[in-house]
Copies of this chain bind each other. A is one copy, B any other.
Amino acid sequence: MAEKDICEVKCMESEKVKEVKRQMLREEEVNRLSGTFSILSDSTRVKIIFALSKEELCVCDIAYLLNLSISAVSHQLRVLRNARLVKYRKQGKMVFYSLDDEHISTLFNEGLKHIRE
């Protein structure tokens, strides 16, 4: 990031580059964008989101479906809760989770379309 690392051709002072610089995303937008994608960048969370896109499920159901510990699932559900991607409903000792963001399904399905070409 030192000035010396920048090439001397001055290509970066062209109109083209200035225009890109002008349009560049703000730091906050970049962070929210990469943050959103990073939630979907883990295979456990992908499986959870897929499962919840089909049915409302309790923590135990999810652990069973993913063959993972209750603890691991709960940790990931917290991530999804913090990101407001899932909501939950308590019923006795059990907690039922479901998706709480229509955008995320769209994003998720766009990703599916991508990998399926």
Which residues of A are in contact with B by a Cβ distance under 8 Å? 1-2, 5-7, 9, 11-12, 16-17, 19-21, 23-25, 29-38, 40-43, 45-47, 50-51, 54-55, 57-58, 60-61, 63-65, 67-72, 94, 103-104, 106-107, 110-115
Contact = CB atoms under 8 A, between A and B. Distances in A.
Given A23-B54, A30-B43, A33-B43, 5 more contacts: A9-B94, A20-B57, A33-B40, A37-B38, A106-B110
A57 B19 CA distance: 12
Give the oligomeric copy count. 2
B111 A33 contact: yes
B5 A61 contact: no
Contacts of A33: 40, 43, 46, 111-112, 115
